[in-house]
Amino acid sequence: MHCSPLDASAPAPLRVGLLGIGVVGSGVQRLLARNHALIAQRAGRTIELRRVAARHVARARELVGAHTTVVGDAMAVATDPDIDVVVEVIGGCTVARELVLAAIAHGKHVVTANKALLALHGEEIFAAAERRGVVVAFEGAVAVSIPIVKALREGLAANEVTWLAGVVNGTSNFVLTQMRERGVSFGVALAEAQRLGYAEADPGLDVDGGDSAHKLALLASLAFGTPLAFDAIEVTGIRALSLVELVAAERLGFRVKLLASARRHGAKLDMRVEPALVPTASLMAGVNGSLNGIVVHGDASGPTTYCGAGAGSLETASAVVADLIELARAVQAPVHGRAPALGVARAQAKALPRMASQALVSPHYLRVSLPMDDVLRLLAVGNLSMAAHADLGDDGVALITQSAPRSAIREVIGLLEREAGIRAPVVWLPVESLR
């Protein structure tokens, strides 16, 4: 119904080679087929899936139909002279890196949803693309259904970004939501997530924060115009979180999220992934289940928030195909580095030195198995005061402090833990006010 037959003078189709046809790849194939006419109309020309590289060739042939050639050799697709754009959705870093670099060397644009690849090898890949004059697009690599790369690179381009914070791993967010809503432990919630397909058999990359850190490296590079700096991110996952903290946080007006955040402090940059308390009234507290949400604070825009699916076959395809449409429109948003990352040429992108985490100032959550009088006395010794508290009975007292540097809270925790009569180690979590 959106279709109008293209005449002889119609522009040439954009010829796509797809590397991998698993969950994401099959979504890309399905979406290109289902919305073919609509996509052609919006792109100004047809987008044709010409070649697919698949591990199971026969099965893939059934899926893609007669107009697409399926082969087992991914390198043959990556370097095929009849392909304009290579979509890399194989995942992993070793083979994917070789394929992407080969495609670039052969003058092809690359669209990828592979955050690990870009977080770890992005500098090499973007530099190669810059030299060859091709685009590496990656809207699907972060918070898939949300066009956050475009928002940072274009929508907020007039702003100096002050900070950003996000829930960018759907699996750990699902686990935390289950724990809170059903009152179960981390282990029980994780098993449920695995049963429902929200978590993999080896959930480490998700619940230990690595996946969030991959995405944060990309977001921070875009937002601050800095080179990718995955290794500068401090990462703490959610395995050690007790349900007690989730319940106590709610009583105090906060919700615990695995938060990926980056913030400029003058000429320094702080990047971290860690469980943190956010105000229950904040939009971020409403990002539950497997949703992703990101808030970006620009110096002119103020805070803007983006939420949507963080995973899924068609959801990721939505982002991958948007990148293809942009390439087809020949709106060649310059490659990450050539002018972009918010438009800053790679050569101009300067690393910002890392902010020492002990200097970070925020309110803090503490849970202490001491009588409240003792807690207050020791907080006062450390020049800290309390903003709110809740009595948890056998679990001790939970409290929110006024803002203080992490170094100060560390000292007070030392005081508390040396106090006679303390029954368990002090539990500490930072509070992120999202301001």
Return the active site residues: 215
CA pair distance 400, 385, nearest whole angstrom: 9
Among 48, 160, 250, 417, binds a second copy (CB under 8 A): 160
Among 60, 96, 175, 287, binds a second copy (CB under 8 A): 287
Radius of gyration of the chain from its Cα atoms, rounded to whole angstroms? 24
CA pair distance 322, 210, nearest whole angstrom: 26
CB of 281 to a second copy, least distance (A): 8
Burial class (CB in 10 A: 0-12, 13-18, 19+), 347: exposed
The H-or-E segment that residue 44 falls in is none
Q: In this structure, what token pair is assigned to residue 371?
A: 């009588």
Give the x/- contact pattern for a second copy in 99-138, rule: CB under 8 A. Answer: ----------------------------------------
Determine phi and psi for 133, rounding to 5 degrees.
Answer: 75, 30
For 401-426, the three-class secondary structure string (H helix, E strand, C coil) is ECCEEHHHHHHHHHHHHHCCCCCCCC
Nearest to 276 by CA among 357, 200, 182, 214: 357
Q: In this structure, what token pair is assigned to residue 366?
A: 């503490």
Q: Write the DSSP symbol of residue 242.
A: -
Among 162, 194, 242, 301, binds a second copy (CB under 8 A): 301
Cβ neighbors of 214 (< 8 A, separation 6 or more) are 115, 116, 118, 119, 120, 230
Among 104, 146, 260, 366, binds a second copy (CB under 8 A): 146
**Residue 218 contacts a second copy per CB under 8 A:** no
Cβ neighbors of 365 (< 8 A, separation 6 or more) are 245, 248, 249, 252, 254, 277, 398, 399, 400, 427, 428, 429, 430, 431
Give the x/- contact pattern for a second copy in 306-345, rule: CB under 8 A. Answer: xxxx--x-xx-xxxxxx-xxx--x-xxxx----x--xxxx
Among 302, 371, 414, 425, binds a second copy (CB under 8 A): 302
Determine phi and psi for 52, rounding to 5 degrees.
Answer: -130, 135
Residue 221 near residue 169, CB atoms below 8 Å: no
**Residue 194 contacts a second copy per CB under 8 A:** no
Q: Please say which residue, 64 or 378, places its beta carbon nearer to a second copy.
A: 64
**Residue 300 contacts a second copy per CB under 8 A:** yes
Footprint (CB under 8 A) of a second copy, residues 414-433: none
Return the bridge partners of 109, or none.
85
Q: Please say which residue, 257 or 389, places its beta carbon nearer to a second copy.
A: 257
CA pair distance 285, 273, nearest whole angstrom: 16
Task: Compute how many residues bind a second copy; rule: CB under 8 A.
Answer: 67
Q: Please say which residue, 225 or 396, places its beta carbon nearer to a second copy.
A: 225
Q: Please say which residue, 190 or 278, places its beta carbon nearer to a second copy.
A: 278
CA pair distance 40, 339, nearest whole angstrom: 28
CA pair distance 193, 203, nearest whole angstrom: 10
**Residue 158 contacts a second copy per CB under 8 A:** yes
Stretch that binds a second copy, among 50-58, 251-259, 295-303, 354-362 (CB under 8 A): 295-303
Return the bridge partners of 244, or none.
none
The H-or-E segment that residue 254 falls in is strand 254-265
Stretch that binds a second copy, among 41-49, 57-65, 103-111, 351-359 (CB under 8 A): 41-49
Q: Please say which residue, 3 or 240, places its beta carbon nearer to a second copy.
A: 3
Give the x/- contact pattern for a second copy in 67-106, rule: CB under 8 A. Answer: ----------------------------------------
Among 14, 16, 18, 43, binds a second copy (CB under 8 A): 43
CB of 37 to a second copy, least distance (A): 10
CB of 376 to a second copy, least distance (A): 32
**Residue 298 contacts a second copy per CB under 8 A:** yes
Looking at residue 389, its amino acid is H
Q: Write the DSSP symbol of residue 183.
A: T
CB of 348 to a second copy, least distance (A): 7
Residues contributing to the site for a second copy (CB under 8 A): 2, 4, 27, 31, 34-35, 38-39, 41-44, 139, 145-147, 150-151, 154-160, 225, 281-283, 285-287, 298-309, 312, 314-315, 317-322, 324-326, 329, 331-334, 339, 342-345, 348
